[in-house]
Structures are given as C-alpha cells and as structure tokens.
Amino acid sequence: MTALVEKAAAKINLTLHVRGRRADGWHDLESLVVFSGTGDRLSLEPGGGLSLTTSGTTAGAAGPDDDNLVLRAAKNAAAAFPNLRAGAFHLIKTLPVAAGLGGGSSDAAAALRLLARLNDIPLSDPRWHEIAAATGSDVPVCLAQHARMMRGRGDELGPELVLPRLFAVLVNPGVPVATPAVFSELGLKPGESFGYGAHPVLDTSSPATLLGQLRKARNDLEDPACVVAPQISHVLAVLAAGRGCRLARMSGSGATCFGLFENCHAAARAAAVIRRDHPGWRVKSTVLR
C-alpha cells in the first residue's frame, strides 16, 4: 500500500479570551480558531512497527522524535482501538516551534486522521475526540481543520463555521515563546476570573461584519507575551503599519502575529515589504479559513 499523506495546517487564534483560571489550574479559554494555507506535511507508510522520522527546516527545533506528539497521539489511539494498524510516520517540519501556531498539535491531529483513514474508522467516532484531548489541549480543534469556536481548556468545540475568505500575513520574529511562561506572566490564580468582557457573538455574513466583531475581541495573552518577548510588540507595529492592514494581532501565546488585509494583493505586497525590511523574520502571506 502506498503512503498516506496529510497536511498539518497552522492554527491561528483570531481571538483568545481568557475567562479565568479553574480550580484545577487550567485556564478557561474562548477562542475563534482558523487554519492557514501553510503547514507541515505528515505521511504514513503502513506496515511494520510504529515509528517516526522527521526532516525539514524546523525539525531540529522540534525536539527528539521519541517525544513528538505524533507518536503520543498514535500510542493513545492504539490504546483506544484494539488491533489498530499503524506503520512508519515521516514528518516534514516547516512551521516554527513554540510560535503560537499549534504546530505540534496539528501534527498530532494529522497522525490521527491518517490512522483513521488507514483503519477505515470515521472521524465522527467520538473516541477520536477523546484521544485528541488526551494528547494535548489544542489537538481536538486541529482534528477537522475547520474554523470554529474553542472553549474550556480546548476540549469544548463549537460547530464548524463558514467564514468569508480572510487574507493574512503571518510574521514570526524567530523567537520561541514558551506557553507556560506567558500564562505565568498573566498572573491568574486558581479560581480567579479576568472579567474583561464577553466574547462578541459572531456574524460571518460578510468580511466587513466579521472584521468589526474581531476588532471588538482581543487576545488576552498578547500583553504578557510582549513582556516575555518584546519583539512581538515590534512585529505588531510593523504589521499594523502595512498599507491595507485591517487588524494586527498575536496568535495563541506567540510569537507569531497576523495582519488581516483587504485583499490578496495587499497581503502579498505587505509581505514582500516586511520580508525585505526584516530578513531575519519568517513572513508568509496566506488565506485563512
């Protein structure tokens, strides 16, 4: 049987509200999640024992293969489905690591999709969601790679959303940002609430309407992330100054930021200018869905 292939798209948090911190220590989140046209590539060669090899521009930063979320997801799946067929995974890693793009989570979700295809088990089987949640907080939302609201610690998912096309520029300054450090800087104690206001109700009927609602929302991790990595403030300023930029915001816990532009031409033009002026940054124009 030929190798099966899945794309592990980058996850973008268009909004990220921290409603508070639960008694168990987890933060209670509410986030509009979309996916970009850029991502990693995962293949599965059926047969033999479970294994993983990696390559690509950011493979070295992803850590040892035996600690990769792809293998963790596959082992969790094997425990949930007796006699599950697996094989040799190969991950081509191009997304930056510790970048607020959910790269590892998206890789793990791609592994679960490959195993589901290989074993003819529909993704609608609720066990896949349970396996994803056990693997990592962001893995469930990455399983279907569709725009939707994500709540709780990431395991509570709203229905899939059909959004108007969003033309974006993604910028990462090349500085890894550890998520625990950002949440620590946020400073919420267990049982404490933020009280900064509810997430706006989404109306996806037009780009202008959606954009107006996104402007009323926020990423509550942006300020603490800028303390941890001050370069993020510079990236946001550069994006916001781009001609045609309608909104500049950080994704996840950083350091990747996005700018939403009026059309694909404006996004491509802004990306070219930023790439020229900041050759050390990773810059990509893409469409979010």
Instruction: Kindly name the residue from 11, 93, 155, 284 that is annotated as catalytic.
Output: 11
Q: How far is CA 48 from the centre of its chain?
A: 31
Pairing of strands 148-152, 27-46: antiparallel
Buried b / exposed e across 210-230, counting CB within 10 Å, b at 16+?
beebbeebbbbbbebbbebbe
Tell me which of 40, 107, 138, 155 is the catalytic residue. Answer: 138
Is 138 considered catalytic here? yes
CA gap 273, 114 in Å, rounded: 38
CA distance 106 to 136: 10
Q: What is the CB neighbour count within 10 angstroms for residue 205?
A: 9
Check: CB of residue 225 under 8 Å from CB of residue 215. no
189 is catalytic: no
- Could you list the active site residues? 11, 138
